[in-house]
A and B are shown apart, each in its own frame.
Chain A
Amino acid sequence: MKTMFTAFAATIVLSFAAYYIMSGMGFSSAEMQSAPSVRLN
């Protein structure tokens, strides 16, 4: 059971990691779909 809970914890950690990596790389829909002249922030 320890392995199961470790895997669940890893899944949560990896999901947050994926979010920060993808956001950092500029893969948000807003950034992908707007022209350079659009101010997003």
Chain B
Amino acid sequence: MKIQVIGSFLVAVLTLAIAPSYAEQSDGQRASTGGAQTLQDVLARQKGIEVDESFRRENLGDPDKAQSINNMLGTQGGISNADVYRGIRYSEVDIKVSNSGPAADVLVQDGGISWLITRATSIRGYAGYGIGGILVALIAFYFTRGRMTIEGGPSGQTIERFKSFERFGHWCLAGSFIMLSATGLLLLFGRAILIPVFGHEANAAIATFSIWVHNNIAWVFMGSLVAIFLMWVAHNIPNKLDWDWLKQGGGIIGNAHPSAQKFNAGQKIIFWMTIIMGASVSVSGLSLLFPFQMPMFAETFALINAVTGSALPAELLPHEEMQLSHLWHAIVAITMIIAIVAHIYIGSVGMEGAFDAMGSGQVDLEWARQHHDLWVEEEQAKAGQAGR
């Protein structure tokens, strides 16, 4: 096993070390092929090494050198079929098509293969190991730490934790998120798992269903995200209390019950993660929902370049914009799924009495005192004032 790891490392180092020599060799050999690409070029590309392809991109024929009209190929005007196809390959020729839309005249887009490979390897790997990892970690945590119980047992008295409109907003967001996650994962793993297990036809039906649900339930997610933000933002402004809560690990390890208002620091982290990543996944989702109508990466890259001096591509083909939106959408969504799985754990099996907050809205008073003591004091003070 160790030898394999060392071997892989050496291959990677050697590949990087010899990369420049590939280009040099190619330059030399291209002269002997009359400027055509060489085996070295093909091998370099297969290894994922950057090759300067301007020798092909700019080799589009020369009308000034055209044969006269009565000579062989003279009617082609100095541009061979190969020149035409290279022009199409690199989007360097003026193409007339009957379709509309900004992407219609891009007939070949080789960036698509990088997107396909990234989606099939890195994105699926991140989803599989990330979501699988958090599930394994939570199961291990449950069997080592056990369920967090109400110290001294429930009091029998309850206090209203969330009003029905708050719970309605939460469950619209939660329900739509779970469906979006499930259908997104079905689409992501269709080729890798569903086709080998259930066959192509079943996967086609599942994918058609998934994309319909994904596209239409997304509106509920976006609407309830805005509602959640408006309802709870005032309670989620970070303050000094949160730092104290975090220093004590939120009481998850040990038996301490650090003070908290309506939302503790852990809940605030989940809130802001949901809002920021939810907004980001919504924008990239809208970009996918309205193909080629909402390009955003070229402008973002140009802005990053201006600020940091980096050299990200500030000119992108319409398809590249879609591919980057898709990858970003997947990365943000998977990160959210990983965090929300932990949120679901702590709000259900992980903590006694926690589900009631979003279930009936009524939580045990002792639970509330142990986890949100300052909020209980505020609520009781308000009730006292109202009773006078």
Instruction: Determine whether B291 belongs to the interface, using a CB cutoff of 8 Å to chain A.
Output: yes
Tell me the bound Cα distance from A18 to B171 in angstroms. Answer: 18
B-side interface size class: 20 to 34
Q: A15-B217, A16-B216 are in contact. Are A7 and B167 (CB under 8 A)?
A: yes
Is A6 in the interface zone, CB < 8 Å from B?
yes
Are the C-beta atoms of A1 and B104 separated by less than 8 Å?
no
CA distance A15 to B210 in the complex (A): 13
- How distant is the Cα of A32 from the Cα of B291 in the complex, in angstroms? 9
* Shortest beta-carbon distance from A31 to chain B in Å: 10
Q: Nearest chain-A residue to B176 (Cβ)?
A: A11
* Contact yes or no, B293 A15, CB < 8 A: no
B225 CB-CB contact with A under 8 Å? no
By secondary structure, the B interface counts as helix
B306-324 CB contact bits vs A (8 Å, 1 = yes)?
0000000000000000000
Contact with A along B3-40 (1 / 0, CB 8 A): 00000000000000000000000000000000000000
Looking at chain A's contact residues, the main secondary structure is helix
Encode A24-37 as 1/0 by CB contact (under 8 A) with B. 00010100111111
A-chain residues with CB within 8 Å of residue B220 when the two chains form the complex: 10-11, 14-15, 18
Separation of A27 and B324 alpha carbons in the complex (Å): 22
B293 to chain A, nearest CB (A): 7
* A35 in contact with B99 (CB, 8 Å): yes
Q: Does A4 contact B (CB under 8 A)?
A: yes
CB distance from A12 to the nearest CB of B (A): 8
Question: Assuming the A-B contacts A15-B217, A33-B101, are A10 and B172 also in contact, with contact meaning beta carbons closer than 8 angstroms in the complex?
Answer: yes
A24–B212 Cα distance when bound, in Å, is 16
Asked whether, in the complex, the Cβ of B99 is within 8 Å of the Cβ of A3, the reply is no
Most buried by A among B164, B168, B216, B360: B216
State the CA gap A8–B176 with chains docked (Å): 8
B290 at the binding interface (Cβ < 8 Å): yes
Residue A40 CB within 8 A of the other chain: no
Q: How far is A21 from B175 in the complex, measured between Cα atoms in Å?
A: 21
Is B209 in the interface zone, CB < 8 Å from A?
no
Q: Are A35 and B216 in contact (CB under 8 A)?
A: no
B61 within 8 A of A: no
Closest residue of chain A to B214 (Cβ to Cβ) is A15
Q: Which residues of the other chain, A, contact B179 by a CB distance below 8 angstroms?
A: 11
Closest to B98 in A: A35
- Which residues of B lie under 8 Å from residue A35 when comparing CB positions? 98-100
By beta carbon, the residue of chain A nearest B102 is A33
Residues from chain A with a CB closer than 8 A to the CB of B218 are: 18
Q: How far is the CA of A41 from the CA of B360 in the complex (A)?
A: 49
CB within 8 Å for A34 and B100 given contacts A1-B359, A1-B360, A4-B359: yes
B residues 162-185 in Cβ contact with A at 8 Å: 164, 167-172, 175-176, 179
Q: How distant is the Cα of A16 from the Cα of B103 in the complex, in angstroms?
A: 29
**Interface positions of B from 282 to 303, Cβ below 8 Å from A:** 290-293
Which of A7, A10, A27, A34 has the most chain B CB within a 10 Å cutoff?
A7
Within 8 Å by CB of A19, from B98, B212, B359, lies B212
* B167/A15 in contact, CB under 8 A: no
B206 sits at the interface (CB 8 A): no
Instruction: From known contacts A15-B219, A32-B291, infer whether A8 and B101 are also in contact, taking CB-CB under 8 Å.
Output: no
Residues of A within 8 A of B (CB): 1, 3-4, 6-8, 10-11, 14-16, 18-19, 22, 27, 29, 32-38
Instruction: Contacts A4-B167, A7-B171, A15-B217 known; list 17 others, CB within 8 Å.
Output: A3-B171, A4-B358, A7-B167, A8-B171, A8-B175, A11-B172, A14-B220, A15-B219, A18-B216, A18-B217, A18-B218, A33-B99, A35-B98, A35-B99, A36-B100, A38-B98, A38-B99
